Structure 1
Amino acid sequence: MNREDLTYNEIMKSLSKQENPFIMFDIKVDEIQAKDYSRIDDFIKAITKIGKSLRSNCAIFCTGYDNTSEELFEIKEVNDYIKGLFRRHPFLLYYINRDMGADSWIISCLADEVRMVRTNDQIMNVSEIVKNYGLNGEVPKFPVHLSFNDDKFSRMTKAIVSHGKKIRDVKGSKEIAKELELQFA
């Protein structure tokens, strides 16, 4: 499901028709620039009201930055917006799908440092990769190393588990927290 201003009733209707709807939400550039959280707050309110049925069944996108060589986490206004979003909803990763990597750009925005590591142990950031391989060049896949200062990552996973307790999905929330720790911590 991908539509503007998806409501609680529309999501519930979809849930009654199919077992696991996949819900996509697109944050608009003007919302990011204005730091306007109203539409995404409404979306998160709706999915939170539904709860456990939408665990790992959502993706948040940010279109409108396609004409830049920068990754979303390298764009300051996007990075700041996502950090603000997580101050408001620290449990959000409970709902974000990890199988498709829908969480990677979001977690990269939250990281204090993002480094891409080549197999020969040379470390490059995205700008260096573009410089070496060009925008349309054959770029090899790079593992990404994320660093989090203090206990930031721990606070994120604790928020997921706390949210799971609130919506009576302790087991599911602990699984998500463990997966995230194994993948990113």
Structure 2
Amino acid sequence: MEEYMIDLSEQSGQPIGSLYLMQIAKTSIDQMSFAFMDICLAYLNQQGPMAAGTVITMIDGYNDVADDIYVIPEIRKWMTALLQKYPYLLYFINRSLDSHINILSCIGNVVIGHVGEPNLTPKEYVRRGINPLTDVAPRRLVITLPDDIYARMETSLLDYGQRVKDPNGAYETIKMIKIVTNRRN
């Protein structure tokens, strides 16, 4: 299992530095290690507002598991600790492939989880020639966040937005969190 953050911008026809794939290894999760994330966040912090919304996350090492990541206890525990360390992390997360929803579902409460056919393991999707990104109906999740977690993220995002002189990026991230977690205030 390998961890990396690579620039996918050119392959996706976008300007360099506008789309990164961050692959997180199961070993980091099992060991509750944030060493790789520390390196990635240091780089993204150096980029400042240019890094807003540029990262897609993947977790490697669960190819034999059919469960959604939000029901895997060790991933929930790791993600919760990661967001305690970096409560502004969602500022960097791209919203096109649901990385933001995956992260929020791991730190929040999922009220309604599964609609439709049962999940397959990633290996089984490959064996059957199914692309889960295009051939499988998306899950319908109702995610709620405890008030203390939301407040910490909101405060941290506002502070981060001021620090990097991108309050609009911070506000947009907060707006997204409110929409995804059905928050009214």
TM bracket, shorter-chain basis? 0.7 to 0.9
**Does residue 174 of the first structure (1) align with residue 171 of the second (2)?**
yes
- TM-score norm. by structure 1 comes to 0.76
Corresponding residue number in structure 2 for 1:74:
71
Deviation at 1:149, TM superposition (A): 2.3
Q: Which runs of 5+ in 2 are unaligned?
A: 8-13, 121-134
**Structure 2 SS opposite 1:26:** strand
CA distance 1:162–1:75, shift in 2 (3 Å): same
Deviation at 1:153, TM superposition (A): 1.6
C-alpha separation in 2, matches of 1:141 and 1:103 = 14
C-alpha separation in 2, matches of 1:67 and 1:22 = 28
**Structure 2 SS opposite 1:103:** helix
Contact 2:5 2:23 (8 Å CA) reproduced: no
**Does residue 114 of the first structure (1) align with residue 134 of the second (2)?**
no
C-alpha separation in 2, matches of 1:155 and 1:141 = 29
Residue identity matched to 1:95: F
After the TM superposition, list the runs of 4 or more consecutive aligned residues in structure 1 that deviate by more than 6 angstroms: none
Corresponding residue number in structure 2 for 1:39:
36
**Structure 2 SS opposite 1:151:** helix
Corresponding residue number in structure 2 for 1:4:
4
CA distance 1:139–1:115, shift in 2 (3 Å): farther
Deviation at 1:26, TM superposition (A): 0.7
* Percent identity for Structure 1 against Structure 2: 19
Corresponding residue number in structure 2 for 1:56:
53
- TM-score norm. by structure 2 comes to 0.76
Q: Supply the RMSD in Å over aligned alpha carbons.
A: 2.6
Q: How many residues align?
A: 161
For 1:12-31, list aligned pairs within 5 A. Answer: 18=15, 20-31=17-28
Residue identity matched to 1:115: V
Q: Which runs of 5+ in 1 are unaligned?
A: 11-16, 117-124
Corresponding residue number in structure 2 for 1:121:
none
C-alpha separation in 2, matches of 1:105 and 1:69 = 15
